Amino acid sequence: MPNFQTSALDKLDYPLTQGEAVFEFESSSSRGNKLIMTTLQEERFVLKISQKENGRYLVKGDKITRPARVSFLQKALINFRNASNAVEICSNIEPKNPLHVRTSPYLKGVEFFANDFETQDEIWIEIGFGSGRHLLHQAKKNPNIQFIGLEIHKPSIEQVLRQCELQGITNILVVDYDARLFLEFVASNSVGKIFVHFPVPWDKKPHRRVFSQSFIEESLRVLNLGGQLELRTDSQNYFEFSFAQMMCLAKASVHVKKNKDLDIISKYEDRWRRMEKDIYDVTLTNEISSPPISKVGKLKFSQSVDFKEVCERFTEEIFRGDGFFVHLEELFVVSATSGLIRVSFGANERNEKSYIWINEGNVSYFPDNVLATKNNVDADKIIKKWIYGTCN
Ligand SMILES: C[S@@+](CC[C@H](N)C(=O)[O-])C[C@H]1O[C@@H](n2cnc3c(N)ncnc32)[C@H](O)[C@@H]1O
């Protein structure tokens, strides 16, 4: 990501316009970090200044508020460097080093599934598609199915998007999101198949496995009548664990096969076959129709708060609940009545990071796109108790 280092920065008079960028205000924390609220072509984001051990300042885009286009960050950093008369010691912000981030119409954020996703086609989901051999094969074989591929490994995502482009495949949407949390964005009874092929066995940390009681229950909710959740694994441990989880259901239709041949052999399967390992398939068929769920909205604050009083109470703190947490990380002060608190919160499996922006009594999440997932809602209740001073 674009950044530069310098040994000195002039103090700016805010608000200040330089080139296309408007620098609105600066806020500082007791750790010596600074945030600069920046607007460029109607996108609002934050530049971050931190002081390194060698006394240099590192100026970069803040990860939480990163604009969609890296070129915006480059422009903002160049304008900030010019406005503050900084002499760069090392830098990658000039356009001669343009930074490319692969974009594709088929790569979607969860916000898309929360707000905009609609299809008349049946959906099939593949979780942890890795090299994507199985996903690409199924998508070509079933052009009338809308595929959703979930993966958290970025090079695998890039590889599959490139293959979709090269092979002209248009019925796959790829999401970089933890599969254990994704299903709550999916409508009830809309999915024909969920493939989980060769998931990481996590023998020493079973709580990190994709399969759990709540994952199985959410899978059954999103599957249509006759829809199937299909696990394929070389791990006897994982097979027995998942089978036992399915057997905890009050009613279940489960089929087990050993060393079944598929049309396509994934990269992992290739490896296990060469090692002559056994492969287990467990298929759970859904036999119930589930009620619809409402769309996942956004979190909001409705009451005002006194920033001065919040400042007096602030200490870095972590609150833990059942499966979720809230971490109040750092307080940045703009003035006596305004500032930002950097927070991370949500499900233990996945950090949500945001700022709570208090400005003349008004409170909001910044950026204003925190989704009201189950764990975020639980975390938000704790945040509100803390902000409004009703925590005991
Ligand atoms: C062992 S590989 C198997 C890949 C592929 N299914 C195959 O058969 O070749 C497991 C894949 O699952 C992905 N993965 C692990 N945990 C995940 C999660 N919680 N959500 C989505 N993907 C995950 C990993 O990044 C990895 O690519």
In short, whether 152's Cβ falls inside 6 Å of ligand 1 is yes
- Helices 133-141 and 154-167: angle between axes, nearest 10 degrees: 30
Half-sphere exposure of 195 (CA within 13 A, CB side): 24
The model's pTM: 0.81
| Among protein residues, the one whose CA lies closest to atom 14 of ligand 1 | 128
Residue 96 is predicted with a pLDDT of 65
CB atoms within 10 A of CB 130: 19
Pair (383, 316) in one structural domain: yes
Residue 187 lies in a domain: yes
SS (HEC) of 21-55: EEEEEEEECCCCCEEEEEEECCEEEEEEEEECCCC
On whether both 75 and 172 belong to a single domain, the answer is: no
**Residue 97 maps to a domain:** no
Residue 105: how many other CB atoms lie within 10 Å = 10
User: Is 329 in the same domain as 271?
Assistant: no
Q: How far away, in angstroms, is 318 Cα from ligand 1 center?
A: 30
Best mutation site among 131, 136, 152, 231 for ligand 1 pocket (most ligand atoms within 8 Å of CB): 152
Q: Would you say residue 300 lies in a domain? A: no
CA of 175 to the centre of ligand 1 (A): 13
pLDDT at residue 94, as a whole number: 82
Q: What is the pLDDT of residue 67?
A: 86
Count the neighbouring beta carbons within 10 Å of the beta carbon of residue 185: 22
Helix (H, G, I), strand (E, B) or coil at 172: strand
The answer to whether the CB of 150 is under 6 A from ligand 1 is yes
Ligand 1 neighbourhood includes 212 CB (under 6 angstroms): no
Residue whose C-alpha is closest to residue 157's, from 136, 185, 137? 136
Query: Cα Rg for the chain, rounded, in angstroms?
Result: 24
Q: Are residues 241 and 123 in the same domain?
A: yes
- State the pLDDT at residue 385: 95
Q: Is the CB of residue 232 below 6 angstroms from any atom belonging to ligand 1?
A: no
- Indicate if 124 and 176 belong to the same structural domain: yes
State the Cα–Cα distance between residues 67 and 241, nearest whole angstrom.
42
Give the structural domain span for 372: 307-387
* Amino acid identity, position 230: E
The structural domain count of the chain equals 3
For residue 89 and ligand 1, the question of a CB distance below 6 A is answered with: no
Closest residue (by CA) to atom 10 of ligand 1? 199
Q: Does 38 contact ligand 1 (Cβ within 6 A)? A: no
Same domain, 192 and 271: yes
User: Nearest 5°: phi and psi at 168?
Assistant: 65, 35
The pLDDT of residue 97 is: 52
CA pseudo-torsion sign 161, 129, 344, 372 = positive
Q: Which two tokens stand for residue 381?
A: 């209740």
Per-residue pLDDT for the chain (392 aa), expressed as one digit of tens each? 899 999 999 999 999 999 999 999 999 999 999 999 999 998 999 999 999 888 899 999 999 998 877 889 999 999 999 999 999 998 888 866 555 545 789 999 898 999 899 999 999 999 999 999 999 999 999 999 999 999 999 899 999 999 999 999 999 999 999 999 899 999 999 999 999 999 999 999 888 899 999 999 999 999 999 999 999 999 999 999 999 999 999 999 999 999 999 999 988 888 888 889 999 999 999 999 999 999 899 999 999 999 999 999 999 999 999 989 999 999 999 999 999 999 999 988 878 899 999 999 999 999 888 999 999 999 999 999 999 987 65
Query: What are the structure tokens assigned to 357, written together?
Result: 């922006």
Give, in order, the Cα–Cα distances in Å from 271 to each of 133, 274, 275, 346. Answer: 14, 5, 6, 36
Residue 382: what pLDDT? 95
Ligand 1 centroid vs 182 CA: distance in angstroms? 14
Last residue of a domain, one of 67, 91, 115: 91
> What integer pLDDT is reported at residue 189 of this predicted model?
97
- In a shared domain, residues 208 and 274: yes
- Are residues 234 and 368 both part of a single domain? no
- Our answer on whether the CB atom of 128 is closer than 6 Å to any ligand 1 atom is yes
Q: How remote is the C-alpha of 342 from its chain's centroid? A: 17
Task: State which of 285, 316, 348 marks the end of a domain.
Answer: 285
Ligand 1 mean position to 166 CA, how many Å? 23
Looking at the fold, whether 265 and 341 belong to one and the same domain comes out as no
User: Last residue of some domain: 229, 255, 285?
Assistant: 285
CATH number, domain at 234? Answer: 3.40.50.150
Would 294 be classed as within a structural domain? no
Mapped onto helix, strand or coil, the DSSP state of residue 307 is helix
Q: What is the residue with the minimal CA distance to atom 27 of ligand 1?
A: 130
The residue nearest atom 11 of ligand 1, judged by CA position, is: 128
DSSP 254: E
For residue 269, what are the CA distances in angstroms to 125, 181, 319, 337?
19, 26, 42, 59
Which pLDDT score, from 0 to 100, does residue 68 have? 73
